[in-house]
A and B are shown apart, each in its own frame.
Chain A
């Protein structure tokens, strides 16, 4: 586990972890560090750039995505374990003047 790329889970409540390594492609094994320093081996299912996130568990469409133990957005489609999580499948719910018009 020692030489594997590192991903950090900021809070144990989080369903995503942030990868701090280069060249993460689909099928790469990474070590997820939780806040207490516990290491878990996981397989990333997409190409994920440095500093970006992947799902630690299945996230259903409409479900909250959590980092730092708090909501950072909502899933816009079902997300599988190990999948890349970013603006293509995560929607912010704040500052949305475009949604106000629908009401």
Chain B
């Protein structure tokens, strides 16, 4: 079990590295080596670490632990073919983590990052709730049942395309340098992680690596169906590259535009769910 966690952390950090490399190449820069993010996390963990004097000490440390715990839970939900609803819950608990990171430090930058995080939660969460569309199509929210359904009927990607688009936007919103990543945009320094340095930052990097791995893997499991491990890894990288293209070519949106776009898409999905599943 611990081996899965450690593997997922390193795989996730490697995916972050590939993401950075791809963005750099698209923008005509050489970019860092793909293992840069792993080195980055290690580097942070060797830096001198303390807790800022203005911070709420317990909360400041606890949210870092919770971040890792939350995404470890998500990984095990996927590995044990658990409930998609539980994955959704974990995603929302991540919002609490983002918020807590910003609030606990007492820094105004962190606070603004935290506020943006909850503001975008109001629009990202309806998007994720479109897993209800998956329920309407497959009649189950257990990942094992969804897999079985896809073996029988082909990938959900084609049957429930709008739901796939919604989840794709959710994954995109969580990537570094994404047009929706307003919580860490540079006009508020590093947003909610501004005051988390040294070991705290290294641990958060590990948690975010886990998060990227879990979200990409979940997208594959839910919308493309079961596949051998190597193929899954290849598809994950392809999916990541498509995200990298969007991140490389789109500027950071303003917080209001982010919310507007996401709510707009969520509204379309609600119409789709009503037309496809509920009204007939």
Bound pair (A, B): no
